[in-house]
């Protein structure tokens, strides 16, 4: 009996150790073709993800993405590098991203060279979550903001927040959902004390393992990008 208990204890210890170090990595190369609202562009992207298990249910995911593009016809060379880490342990999630360079595609990125830091901390309580988000531009535009939010998971994910920073105090509402891991979509609306209304709509179609198609509408401007992975 005592030997069985010892054997069971050894198995549990081995599983815990294995769960804390098990790692899976993935590297993708892609050719990009897109439209940034003013010009067509083309380029290349390299992205690497590495996920490490923490215990039975937790994980840590590190990622790095490098992209370089040029407008068509060639007139401007754009590029950026993004490094980030996402961690989920117990009922706590946090992430931090560093981005440096110039990109026209993402709504979160400014359209000239900069260095930006993004951080998020959230505590989950069942179908609800509470947390903070902060964005700081270290080089380039002098911009920062901090937003407190509540997240609800009901027929998708709803995030309600209020923030302040370089811009006036604002309220934010985001709804995001996915369909069978093929289509991911989100809608974000913001309204600040200067009575400025902003909105962003994102749609990503990722059914084919070699192709990813993304659309974004922001302030009546549309952006689109097609990525071919090889």
Sign of the CA dihedral with 174 first, then 180, 184, and 187 last: negative
Note the pLDDT tens digit of each residue in 24-68. Answer: 788 888 999 988 777 788 889 999 999 998 877 889 999 999 888
CA distance 33 to 213: 10
DSSP letter at 208?
A: S
Could you give the percent of the chain with pLDDT greater than 70?
82
Overall pTM surpassing 0.85 (yes/no): no
3-state secondary structure of 156: coil
Sign of the CA dihedral with 113 first, then 226, 47, and 200 last: positive
pLDDT at residue 118 is higher than 90: yes
CA distance 221 to 217: 6
Q: Name the more confident of 199 and 195.
A: 199
Q: Name the more confident of 164 and 14.
A: 164
Question: What is the CATH number that goes with domain 24-229?
Answer: 2.40.160
Which structure tokens are listed for 118?
A: 């993004």
Q: Please, are residues 217 and 203 in contact by the beta-carbon 8 Å criterion?
A: no
Which structure tokens are listed for 22?
A: 């098990």
Could you give the percent of the chain with pLDDT greater than 90?
30
Bridge partners, residue 179, by sequence: 183
């Amino acid at each position: 009996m005592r030997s069985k208990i010892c054997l069971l204890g050894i198995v549990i210890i081995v599983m815990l150790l294995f769960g804390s170090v098990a790692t899976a990595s993935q590297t993708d190369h892609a050719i990009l073709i897109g439209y940034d609202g003013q010009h067509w562009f083309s380029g290349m992207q390299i992205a690497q993800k590495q996920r490490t298990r923490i215990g039975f249910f937790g994980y840590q995911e590190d990622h790095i993405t490098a992209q370089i593009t040029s407008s068509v016809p060639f007139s401007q060379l754009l590029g950026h590098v993004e490094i980030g880490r996402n961690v989920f342990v117990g009922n706590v999630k946090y992430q931090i991203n560093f981005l440096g360079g110039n990109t026209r595609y993402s709504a979160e990125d400014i359209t000239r060279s900069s260095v930006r830091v993004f951080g998020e901390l959230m505590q989950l309580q069942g179908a609800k979550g509470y947390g903070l988000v902060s964005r700081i531009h270290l080089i380039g535009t002098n911009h920062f903001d901090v937003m407190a939010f509540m997240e609800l998971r009901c027929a998708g994910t709803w995030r309600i927040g209020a923030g302040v920073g370089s811009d006036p105090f604002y309220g934010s509402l985001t709804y995001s959902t996915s369909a069978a891991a093929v289509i991911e979509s989100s809608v974000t609306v913001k309204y600040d004390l200067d009575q400025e209304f902003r909105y962003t709509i994102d749609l990503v179609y990722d059914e084919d393992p070699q192709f990813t198609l993304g659309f974004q509408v922001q302030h009546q401007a549309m952006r689109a990008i097609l990525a071919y992975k090889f």
